[in-house]
């Protein structure tokens, strides 16, 4: 068993990509954040730390802030034969020290595995919410109760600044996406649309393709236009589009305390799958 005395910690470099790739893809204890970027795309952003034993990568931790005040744990991976608690302790202490220099930062994680959740709890992370999954299946009857005079069209790259503003106002800081993340999301989308009123972008959605259909990754409406049925119109437009493409189902995730979103999704035929994931955070 590799111990902490034997480990050396440093920031990851581009030249580390091969050894980190082996660590991420071939080891059993790996936490990956559900992200628009692949874990190794964060190399070069700080803190992305690597722990080595005899020049071999035995653990890695990446939690660069994006946007500036929010640092999701994007990656934590451990090689077999390395004590998870020891490796986490050393890497987390270095990451915490780096982020403390910035100040006023929230570090957050959505652990899927019990072993990682235990490490977070022992390091002082607090459970603040849960993310729940809902499922819509083909041939579910759509609900058209209110049709306001809005324009729904395909998203364009030039829309990103307006979309980022919608995102900032519609979501709390923890869930806000940066401009760069939204650009990546747009480029990966299967279906991306905006809703306009009087030529102003007041909402958007970004969805990806899945093996059985699609996943609604993001939907947001400016707060002053919420509760008017606009989100439902945008959602119906998306589901009709997915049906035309032959999708058998569409999934979406939302916070268990986001009652407005839950109500909207269930209204058009989304049903809870029973799956949920804890959200932990630590404030600096």
Q: Which residue ranges form the domains of the chain, and what is each CATH number?
A: 4-124 (3.40.630.30), 131-277 (3.40.630.30)
Q: For residue 138, with 0-12 CB atoms within 10 Å meaning exposed, 13-18 middle and 19 or more buried, which class applies?
A: middle
The C-alpha atoms of residue 279 and residue 110 are separated, in whole angstroms, by 5
Token pair recorded at residue 107: 């570090």
The C-alpha atoms of residue 50 and residue 58 are separated, in whole angstroms, by 8
> b/e per residue, 100-117, with b = 16+ CB within 10 A?
eeeeebbbbbbbeeeebb
Q: Are 125 and 280 in contact (CB under 8 A)?
A: yes
The pLDDT value recorded for residue 102 is 82
Please state whether beta strands 271-283 and 126-137 pair in parallel, antiparallel, or not at all (unpaired): antiparallel
The pLDDT value recorded for residue 183 is 97
246: left (phi over 0), alpha (psi -120 to 50) or beta: left
The pLDDT value recorded for residue 50 is 97
The pLDDT value recorded for residue 143 is 75
The pLDDT value recorded for residue 6 is 73
The C-alpha atoms of residue 121 and residue 118 are separated, in whole angstroms, by 5
Q: For residue 257, with 0-12 CB atoms within 10 Å meaning exposed, 13-18 middle and 19 or more buried, which class applies?
A: exposed
Q: Are 20 and 50 in contact (CB under 8 A)?
A: yes
The pLDDT value recorded for residue 169 is 96
Rg of the chain in Å (alpha carbons): 21
SS3 of 101, please?
A: coil
Q: Are 108 and 72 in contact (CB under 8 A)?
A: yes
User: Which of 96, 98, 79, 95 lies closest to 6, judged by CA?
Assistant: 79
Within the chain, which residues score under 70 in pLDDT?
A: 1-5, 145-146
pLDDT tens column, 32-52: 998 899 999 999 999 999 999
The pLDDT value recorded for residue 145 is 66
pLDDT tens column, 163-188: 999 999 999 899 999 999 999 999 99
What is the pTM for the complete model shown? 0.92
Token pair recorded at residue 251: 């999934």
């Amino acid at each position: 068993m590799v111990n902490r005395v034997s480990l050396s910690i440093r920031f990851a470099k581009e030249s580390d990509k091969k050894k980190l790739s082996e660590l991420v893809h071939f080891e059993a204890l790996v936490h990956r954040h559900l992200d628009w970027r692949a874990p190794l795309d964060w190399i070069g952003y700080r803190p992305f730390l690597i722990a080595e034993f005899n020049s071999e990568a035995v653990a890695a931790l990446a939690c660069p802030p994006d946007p500036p005040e929010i640092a999701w744990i994007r990656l934590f991976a451990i090689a077999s034969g390395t004590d998870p608690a020891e490796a986490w302790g050393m890497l987390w202490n270095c990451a915490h020290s780096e982020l403390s220099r910035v100040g006023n930062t929230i570090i957050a994680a959505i652990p899927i595995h019990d072993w990682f959740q235990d490490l977070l709890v022992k390091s002082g992370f607090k459970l603040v919410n849960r993310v729940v999954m809902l499922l819509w299946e083909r041939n579910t009857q759509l609900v058209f109760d209110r049709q306001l005079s809005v324009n729904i069209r395909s998203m364009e790259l030039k829309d990103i600044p307006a979309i980022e503003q919608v995102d900032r106002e519609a979501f709390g800081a923890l869930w806000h996406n940066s401009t760069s993340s939204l650009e990546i999301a747009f480029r990966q989308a299967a279906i991306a649309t905006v809703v306009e009123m009087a030529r102003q972008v007041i909402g958007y959605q970004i969805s990806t393709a899945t093996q059985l259909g699609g996943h609604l990754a993001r939907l947001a409406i400016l707060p002053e236009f919420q509760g008017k049925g606009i989100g439902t119109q945008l959602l119906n437009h998306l589901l009709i589009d997915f049906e035309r493409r032959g999708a058998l189902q569409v999934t979406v995730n939302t916070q268990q305390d986001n009652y407005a979103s839950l109500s909207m999704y269930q209204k058009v035929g989304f049903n809870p799958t029973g799956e949920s994931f804890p959200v932990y955070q630590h404030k600096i």
